[in-house]
Structure 1
Amino acid sequence: MEAPSAVSSQTGNKRKRDIVKQQEQNHSKEKQDGSKIHITGVPMRDKVRTLFYQVLTTEPQQDHQGRQPIHVTVEEIEEELFSSCDNETGKEYQERFRSLYRNLKDTKNASLREAIVSRTILPKDFVVMTPHELANPELKKEREQLRKESIRESKKSVDTQTFSEEFQCRKCGLRKCSFFQMQTRSADEPMTTFVTCHNCGNRWKQ
């Protein structure tokens, strides 16, 4: 049978090992800026903070001098996100997190990550950014080109409109209308006629 002093010593050593283990777990949150993420105790929120932190520290930062520590920025981002979702971690919180995280993680979106780390974009503004605003520069350029092409096509349609008194506006009763035709159904179906009244602006198709 072990002496009481030996048992007491073993118990003390076990407690020390447990403390060291807990400290190691806490330090596992540390990243390259040497800072710790503040744990909220809410599993979902803590996971979000960790993932944001990881994605913002995946590449070397050019200059940390004078900058807010990344873990502080991450905490502010999550706080703003949580607050904007009525302090709930439900569907809205999770969907908005996924949108923000997906765009931050985009390998072509280094400029967004840098803007967050440098606080050119503040946490309160970041969490309410639209998918268009979050997109990487290449995708934004493609979308802008598509938008311009759409405008050109729309203008082309207007340019090819024919003015006619054949159509009477059902809204104002006048015959100041123009129209153009477009194939919107199968090839063997009649073309759809789009009519615009130049008196009241009413539009319809037939």
Structure 2
Amino acid sequence: MEYMDLQEITRYATRIEKLHKDGNYEDISSLLTDLCNTTVVLSQLQNTAIVQTLCQLVKSCPVAAVRKTAKDLLSKWKQHPHTGNILEPDNVNQELTSQASGFSVASGHYNGEEDSGSTNLRAKCVELLLRALTPDQEADVEATTQLSTLAHTIEKHIHALHSQNQLKYKSCVRSKLANLKNPKSPHLRQGLLTGALPPEVFARMSSKEMAGEELQQLREGYTAAGISEHQLPCGPGGMRTTKVRCRRCEAMDCTVTQVCRGTNTDEEVVTFVTCAGCGEQWYHSRWVCL
């Protein structure tokens, strides 16, 4: 039998997953045949997602022949001496259940402590992140493998930040997806692909930090306009009159305002006068200047 290296096994897992989503089961059957004629070792099963991919194929593939081939392949790996006891359960159905709920999405390693609900959620988030990182659906296998690794890494850091709060975890993932898909924020995807933006930094970024330059400038403009609007001096209220002369500038353009000193309308009111020209203010109590 032929031997495949770790990278080639990873490519097979990625291709099978993509073909399964596309519903192309003829090509999947061909890939499974190649895997049947290949000898695998324990490290390849531990460090790739091939077992998880085949388990999902057995669970959801509508083609009986493909399901049987994948199931037989898992049984073969369980009995093969090179794989040790990685597939230890006595029947394949038990194996499918344990593997589907026990493989960590972020690392591809078996982790029996994670429940199936959390694992399925994380797997879905990785899939959505991969789609957001792959605008070109016709990307080659090598590029898809790299993007898949990047999506897993981003999800792992997001989960590490919000592992105790599922609502915050979902909200963070939605925010990352929206900004990656935003055509006005191409710098995020470009930075992740080139390595200029590390995945752990991207996982911690807020919506404000992920915004593109255009949106940041727009926000700054709104903020500056709001500050200016609140800092504009308010014009004096009251009734305009030309019968009062300002003793500072001697202008005859003033505003008269009457304010009650208390809550009772019968109480004495105070008459305030403001000059529209120089801003001088005084009130009618022997015309004391303010």
If the length of structure 2 is used for normalisation, what is the TM-score?
A: 0.37
Paired AA for residue 137 in structure 1: E
Paired AA for residue 70 in structure 1: L
Q: Which residue of 2 aligns with 1:51?
A: 128
Distance 1:105 1:22, change over 3 A: farther
Q: Does 1:91 align with 2:167?
A: yes
Task: Name the one with the larger helix percent.
Answer: 2
Q: After TM superposition, give the deviation of residue 156 of structure 1 in Å.
A: 2.9
Moved over 6 A (4+): 20-23
Paired AA for residue 18 in structure 1: T
SS in 2 for 1:117: helix
Q: Which residue of 1 aligns with 2:197?
A: 121
Q: Deviations over 1:104-144 (max 9, x none)?
A: 11122212211122222211111121111122332222111
148-157 or 109-118: bigger deviation: 148-157
Q: Paired residue for 1:132, among 190, 204, 208?
A: 208
Q: Gaps (5+ residues) in structure 1?
A: 1-13, 24-36, 61-67, 163-206
Q: Paired residue for 1:19, among 59, 62, 70?
A: 70
Q: After TM superposition, give the deviation of residue 151 of structure 1 in Å.
A: 3.0
2:71 and 2:107 mapped to 1: Cα distance? 19
If the length of structure 1 is used for normalisation, what is the TM-score?
A: 0.51
1:151 and 1:130 mapped to 2: Cα distance? 23
Q: After TM superposition, give the deviation of residue 81 of structure 1 in Å.
A: 0.5
Q: Greater CA radius of gyration, 1 or 2? A: 2
Superposition pairs of residues 29-108 of structure 1, within 5 angstroms? 42-59=119-136, 69-85=146-162, 87-88=163-164, 90-108=166-184
2:231 and 2:155 mapped to 1: Cα distance? 44
Paired AA for residue 70 in structure 2: I
1:150 and 1:53 mapped to 2: Cα distance? 39
1:80 and 1:102 mapped to 2: Cα distance? 18
Distance 1:49 1:16, change over 3 A: closer
Distance 1:15 1:77, change over 3 A: closer
SS in 2 for 1:127: helix
Q: After TM superposition, give the deviation of residue 161 of structure 1 in Å.
A: 9.4
Contact 1:81 1:127 in 2 (8 A): yes
Q: After TM superposition, give the deviation of residue 38 of structure 1 in Å.
A: 6.0
Distance 1:16 1:106, change over 3 A: closer
1:132 and 1:38 mapped to 2: Cα distance? 29
2:180 and 2:72 mapped to 1: Cα distance? 32
Paired AA for residue 98 in structure 1: R
SS in 1 for 2:184: coil
Distance 1:120 1:22, change over 3 A: farther
Contact 1:108 1:136 in 2 (8 A): yes
Contact 1:45 1:78 in 2 (8 A): yes
User: Higher RCO, 1 or 2 (CA under 8 Å, sep at least 6)?
Assistant: 1
Q: Deviations over 1:25-83 (max 9, x none)?
A: xxxxxxxxxxxx965771111111111111111149xxxxxxx9322221111111111
Contact 1:39 1:46 in 2 (8 A): no
Identity over aligned pairs, percent: 21
Distance 1:149 1:53, change over 3 A: same
CA RMSD, aligned part only?
A: 3.6
Paired AA for residue 192 in structure 2: I
Contact 1:53 1:74 in 2 (8 A): yes
Distance 1:21 1:84, change over 3 A: farther
1:89 and 1:45 mapped to 2: Cα distance? 13
